[in-house]
Amino acid sequence: MTLSITRKEFLKTLGMGTCGFLYAAQTLGDSSNERSYKSIRGKIFKNDAPSRPWKWSIEGFHYASNGKDVQCLVCPNRCYLEPGDRSVCRSKVNIDGKLFSLAYGNPCSVHVDPIEKKPLFHFYPTSTIFSIAAAGCNFRCLNCQNWEISQKKPEELHHVELFPKDVVREVRKREIPSIAYTYSEATTYYEYMFDTAKIAREQGIKNVVVSNGYINKNPLIALTHYLDGANIDLKSFDDRIYQALNGGQLQPVLNTLKTLHQQGVWLEIATLVIPTYTDDPEMIKKMCGWILNELGPDYPLHFLRFAPLYQLTRLPATPVAILEHFRDLAIKEGIHYVYLGNVPGHTGCHTFCHNCNKMLLERVGYILKQNHIKNGRCEFCGTVIPGRWI
């Protein structure tokens, strides 16, 4: 169901209702919400929706409507759409006063990956994961590595027909233990992810989201009932950089990290170190302090090496020495497990016991050469190693 209110009431107070869910929401008068609303207003695609729902569409799960205009409540962009408008993420449209997702059952990317690729280093290592993505993203990252699908509309891409039950059937047939919602931004195909995750959980299959973390609390909590693991991109620890580099804001991402922690979802954090943007040691130190205070020392932190892509081809690749410095800094601050990404063969890719410092997991690319974790403990000193283990 959707929430039927007058336009005046709609602009005064937001409600949210879909598929049996109904939550209270913030008002547009809230200063933080108003800033977010204004910041994305110009990015709406005006008069760009199809005239009627198409085969790969479903009514949105989290939105408000006054019978004519709608407002999506899945992510902090809170796109306000008049009839015929398309959202910032390109996947939501207003058709006849209802919000529809165009990214349902039509993934543009389907792969079987090693779990380490996500990257998830403490979540059932050596296992494989069935990875799916649909078009769209609620960010506009200048450095996006998957811009060919994240910055496209669903109808602009070649895709396969794979509805939630089909995904789970394929996973069971291949005897794969987990599904990843990844590559583009999973929040933009929330309805597809949610329904797939629910069916997968019923079948004993684990669910993992790889995301920018730009999602509102109520949709996220609903999803966590079926979520086992997550890798969240903490793209920087400066709101100005978030706005300039990614087209978003920092605080909603921090809120997501806290919510996942509170809901018991296994969490790993990835930070891409981009020269001149996110390579400030003081910012990294503040970020580590926040992680320790709000989440604790046990969630792995991945510092990823930047490669010139998309709109930042003018920048050099991240010097490995900077990544090494940040890893040392984070460990010194008290984070137990800090990794380097996109630097194959580096010792920063291995897992060391935070108590005895012995190597527990030796990685060469995505291949695990040694494993000294037994029953979730260090084989040498018996210390419990945080994570999810086979």
Helices (H) and strands (E) in the chain, counts: 10, 21
Looking at residue 29, what is its pLDDT?
29
Model confidence at 363, pLDDT cuts 50, 70, 90, reads: very high
Q: What is the pLDDT of residue 27?
A: 27
Q: Is the pLDDT score of 25 beyond 80?
A: no
Say what the pTM is: 0.89
pLDDT reported for residue 18: 32
What does the pLDDT look like over 105-150, one tens digit per residue?
A: 999 999 999 999 999 999 999 999 999 999 999 999 999 999 999 9
Average of pLDDT values for 29-43?
40
Q: What confidence tier does 52 reach under pLDDT thresholds 50, 70, 90?
A: confident
For the ranges 44-48, 52-56, 377-381, the maximum mean pLDDT occurs at 377-381
| Helices 281-294 and 320-333, axial angle in degrees (round to 10) | 40
Contact between residue 138 and residue 248 where contact means Cβ atoms under 8 Å apart: yes
Tokens of 50: 């199809």
CATH topology of domain 109-378: TIM Barrel (3.20.20)
Contacts 24+ apart (CB under 8 A), 235-243: 235/141, 235/271, 235/272, 235/278, 236/271, 236/277, 236/278, 236/283, 237/283, 237/284, 237/286, 237/287, 237/290, 238/283, 241/277, 241/278, 243/39
Domain boundaries, the chain: 7-101, 109-378
Q: Cα–Cα distance between 182 and 132 in angstroms, integer?
A: 6
What pLDDT score was predicted for residue 54?
Answer: 83
Digit-coded pLDDT (tens) for 314-339: 999 999 999 999 999 999 999 999 99
Task: Report which of residues 251 and 11 the model is more confident about.
Answer: 251
Averaged pLDDT for residues 15-24: 29
pLDDT beyond 60 at 357 = yes
pLDDT of residue 105: 96
Region 198-224: what's the mean pLDDT? 98
Classify residue 188 by its DSSP letter: G
